[in-house]
Amino acid sequence: MAKDNGGPAFPVVGENGPYGEGDFITVGMSLRDYFAAKAMQAMFNFPDYKDWSYFAISTHAYKLADAMLKASEE
């Protein structure tokens, strides 16, 4: 099963979307990627993460992004 990416971070409504007039055109990053980038940006500025590897930080950022997407469903 594919992971829910939250859809596009900045959706654009177009006249000729992929499924007909007025549909969302998914351009750019997903909402999940946007949330992870924001979380990672904050983590790099927090001293507790200074000794973490880049992989550990990015993995944790995506876990935070997934939690934000889940919270937005409730």
Tens digits of per-residue pLDDT, 3-38?
777 777 777 666 555 555 556 555 668 889 999 999
Mean pLDDT for 49-72 is 92
CA separation (Å) from 3 to 28, 41, 63, 69? 17, 22, 12, 11
**What does the alpha-carbon distance between residue 38 and residue 11 come to, in Å, rounded to a whole number?**
18
High-pLDDT (> 70) share of the chain, %: 73
Q: What is the pTM of this model?
A: 0.69
Biggest distance spanned by C-alpha atoms of the chain: 50
Q: Answer for the pair 28, 8: CB distance below 8 angstroms, yes or no.
A: yes
